[in-house]
Each structure stands twice: as C-alpha cells, then as structure tokens.
Amino acid sequence: EDEDDERSDDDDDDDSNRNTRKKRKLDVCDWIGCYSDLKQHIDSCPYQLVQCQWCRIKLMRRAHDGHIAECLLCELPCRQCNHNIARIVMNRHLKEKCPMRQVPCARCGGLVVSQRMKDHSQFDCPESLIRCRYRKYGCCMWLKRKDEENHYRSCKDMHLEQVIKKHDEASEKYEEAREKYEHERLNCKDLERRLSEAANEATEKYEEANDKYKSERLKCKDLERRLNEAIDDAD
C-alpha cells in the first residue's frame, strides 16, 4: 500500500511537471526566421513585453487587448458628453461631473441637462422670478414666469394707461424737439444769409481795392515814363 501511495505521488509530480513545462512552452515565442526579419517580428510578437499607455504596467502583447478592456485608468468616451474619462471615475463622472447629466432644477424640480441649467432658469423655469415686459412703461412688478399670463390679463387696464401716458410724454418731447429743431433751422438760415452778405461785401471791397491798385499802378508807370523822358531831354 505504501508503494502504491509513492507511485501515485510520483504520477502527480510528473503531471505537474508536464503542465509546468507546457505552460512555459506556451509563454515562449517559437518564431524562427532570418535575422534581418527579427526587428519586424519583435514589433508584432505576441510574447514581447509592451507597456499600457494608461497605467504603465508591462505585459505581453497578446494580453494587451484584454488588459485594456479592464484597465481602470483607460479613458473611454462618456456616453452622454463624449468626453474621454478614466474607467475608474466614469460612474462618478456620470453622477456628479458630466455636463450632459440630468439634474433637478432647484426651483421647479424638473430634470434639466446640467449645462443648460442657466438657460433653463433664465428662459424656461416656471418658478423663476421675471420682470413684467411693460416695465419700460412703468410697471415695476416682479412675478413668477408661470403667473405671467395671469398678470397681463389682470393688469391690462393699468398697462394700457401706462402705455398711453408714455405715448403722451413721448409726443410732448417730440413736439419740444421739433420746435427746437425749427428754431435752430431758422437760426442757421439767418446765419447763412449773413455769411453770404458778408462774403458779397468782401468780394465787392476786394474788387474795389483791386481796381484802385490797378489805377495807381498805371499812374506809377506813367510817372516813371515821364521821368525817363525828362531825364533824356536834360541830357
């Protein structure tokens, strides 16, 4: 019986050694080829050590794709915003960081895309406070967007009075501006007339002075001529 046990242990050791040799054989490249082709083979050899670009761990090339499929630092495109996010923080990104995640509005409770929350609050949220669109006519009311139509219906008479009042004030200002413009236009015409008269007067004086200059010039030439004649007679 002891011999049978020893024989069984020897058989187990032989099986273990065979499995170990088989595993080692599987982990060894059996490529045989020309030395000139070695570099090209190394660049694609499944037993060559390569480095994961994300976690920097070194592993055989044949295991690389399987590792990438599980690597916690590998970046994947977010299914909502399409930004590249590491696998290890993807769930947190989807829940807390993603700009395209659905978040509840603090005012109305409706679900809104995170990056559109500002626009939602400014243009869409029924609970947001807004100014009455008749504020330029004098209505100072602040109201919730959902109450806007009711406000316009209930205050239409007040709004009409405010619009009429603003219209009357604008008409008065228009008349004042028109009268001022007409006054300035007449002043400009009067100034233009006086400038024209001054220009004509200046032109007349210039022509008069020019004629006088020409006359004196002729007299000077005549006097010069007579002096030259007198000088010649004296000689």
- For the chain, the residue count is 235
pTM: 0.50
- Nearest-CA neighbor of 86 among 53, 50, 114, 119? 53
State how far the Cα of 185 lies from the Cα of 230, in Å rounded to an integer: 67
Tokens 């004086």 correspond to: 205
Q: Outline where the chain has alpha helix (H).
A: 2-26, 38-42, 64-68, 90-92, 117-119, 148-154, 156-234
Q: Are 81 and 100 in contact (CB under 8 A)?
A: yes
pLDDT at 25: 47
User: Please, which residues have CB within 8 angstroms of residue 59's CB and are 6 or more apart in sequence?
Assistant: 49, 50, 52, 67
- Mean pLDDT confidence for 186-214: 93
State how far the Cα of 163 lies from the Cα of 171, in Å rounded to an integer: 12
pLDDT per position as a tens digit, 4-61: 555 455 555 555 555 444 444 456 888 888 888 888 888 889 999 999 999 999 999 9
Lowest mean pLDDT: which of 39-43, 88-92, 161-165? 39-43
* Higher pLDDT among residues 1 and 63, named by residue: 63
Q: Are 107 and 128 in contact (CB under 8 A)?
A: yes
Q: Outline where 73-138 has alpha helix (H).
A: 90-92, 117-119
State how far the Cα of 182 lies from the Cα of 176, in Å rounded to an integer: 10
Q: Are 151 and 141 in contact (CB under 8 A)?
A: yes
State how far the Cα of 82 lies from the Cα of 98, in Å rounded to an integer: 10
